[in-house]
Amino acid sequence: LSHSAGLTVHGFGGYAQGKDVPTLQQILDGEKPANSKPIRVDIVPGRVRYSGGGYTVMQQLLIDIQNKPFPEIMYETVLSPLGMKDSTYEQPLPESLRGDAATGHSNNGEPIRGEWHTYPEMAAAGLWTTPSDLCRFAIELMLSRDGKSNKVLSQNMTNQMLTPIQAHDSAGLGIALMGDKKDFSFSHGGSNAGFKCYLFAYPEKGKGAVVMTNGNRGSSLNLEIFRSLAAEYGWSDFRPKEKVLAEVDPAVFDRYVGKYQFEKGTLSDQMMIVVTVTKKGKSLLLRAPIPGMPMEIYPESETEFFATTMDIQITFVLDKEGKVTEMVPNVRGQIEKGKKIK
């Protein structure tokens, strides 16, 4: 639940309409027609590393224990008790519900083939829902935390869910945790083919919001909406950060152009990720096969850059001879390192 079991496979790409859909066992073993690698423990448990694969293991576990289809288990234990009447884990989406579903869109704004993908990895990626229903989920967590409701979890279990599993870590049981005291928050993003979504809430304040978009490039819009909410309601998070654009000779950017390799287990546990950096006028453009890319970054010094689409700082590390050796992204304290390989 806390993404610390050492299990592989960060997330899943889903299956376009008309494509063969694997069984759960085929997904677990990485066998065709599954388009993801086998789900295995490949590091010592205890270190947090996001794993949709871990939730797929738990999906199989619940099916084995209750001897029921996973959508039925979730309806009976979570969706129905919380009044989430516009939500389902059914995959593929039943014909009777297709008229209610939004069409996902690709990076260039074109509709996803077949309008959306099918996700047999239901626990990790298969929830069809609405902002209102996700708000019902968030409200129940806040009420249960305070001992005012126990429709799904006891107060004790909810508090375990909302407690970091390790000191100075942001991982709770299934959700991300940030801040403390009145600024303590829980959140989770959603990223399927053609869709970008985000849930955020302050349990101490009883405030929060859910924003859902039906486009691969919707994360930037999500952030702008949350910034507006923060400004309107005085939230401590999502406040715009003022940056001073440094006057840097574009010729300096030449040394940053190239490819940077991030090892398995950093930006992605499925494969090594290569980030390509090119020049774009007075900025740099980053490209990689991960969410949030391509990304334009701007200089605040000769070696430090920022983006306007997300809260990220990127530092380029130079050796004694002035040669670039690494790119170091920092996202809200989460630091990764990519070695320059070209």
Q: What is the mean pLDDT of the chain?
A: 92
In this structure, are residues 27 and 121 in contact, taking their beta carbons and an 8 Å threshold?
yes
| Beta-carbon-side half-sphere exposure of residue 144 (alpha carbons within 13 Å) | 20
Among residues 17, 16, 14, which one has the least CA distance to residue 56?
Answer: 14
The pLDDT, as a whole number, for residue 264 is 57
The pLDDT, as a whole number, for residue 267 is 56
Q: What is the 3-state secondary structure (H, E, C) of the chain?
A: CCCCCCECCCCCCCECCCCCCCCHHHHHHCCCCCCCCCCCECCCCCCCCCCHHHHHHHHHHHHHHHCCCHHHHHHHHHHCCCCCCCCECCCCCCHHHHHHCCCCECCCCCECCCCCCECCCHHHHCCECCHHHHHHHHHHHHHHHCCCCCCCCCHHHHHHHCCCCCCCCCECCCCEEECCHHHCEEEEEEEECCEEEEEEEECCCCEEEEEEECCCCCHHHHHHHHHHHHHHHCCCCCCCCCCCCCCCCHHHHHHHCEEEEECCCCCCCCCCEEEEEEEECCEEEEECCCCCCCEEEEECCCCEEEECCCCCEEEEEECCCCCEEEEEEEECCEECCEEECC
The pLDDT, as a whole number, for residue 271 is 54
Question: Residue for token digits 């309107």?
Answer: 232
Mean pLDDT within 293-309 = 92
The pLDDT, as a whole number, for residue 270 is 45
Radius of gyration of the chain (CA): 21
pTM: 0.81
Give me the domains of the chain, ranges plus CATH numbers. 24-233 (3.40.710.10), 250-340 (2.40.128)
Structure tokens at 148: 């005012």
Task: Answer yes or no: is pLDDT of 68 > 70.
Answer: yes
Name the band, by pLDDT with cuts 50, 70 and 90, for residue 326.
very high
Task: Using a pLDDT cut of 70, give the percent of the chain over it.
Answer: 96
For the stretch 140-187, pLDDT in tens is: 999 999 999 999 999 999 999 999 988 667 889 999 999 888 999 999
Q: How many other C-beta atoms lie within 10 A of the C-beta of residue 249?
A: 9
Mean pLDDT within 30-52 = 93
Task: Answer yes or no: is pLDDT of 61 > 80.
Answer: yes
The pLDDT, as a whole number, for residue 41 is 96
Among residues 217, 226, 180, 178, which one has the least CA distance to residue 199?
Answer: 226
Task: Answer yes or no: is pLDDT of 319 > 60.
Answer: yes
The pLDDT, as a whole number, for residue 106 is 92
For the stretch 228-280, pLDDT in tens is: 999 999 999 988 888 899 999 988 999 999 999 987 555 554 456 899 999 99
Task: Answer yes or no: is pLDDT of 54 > 90.
Answer: yes
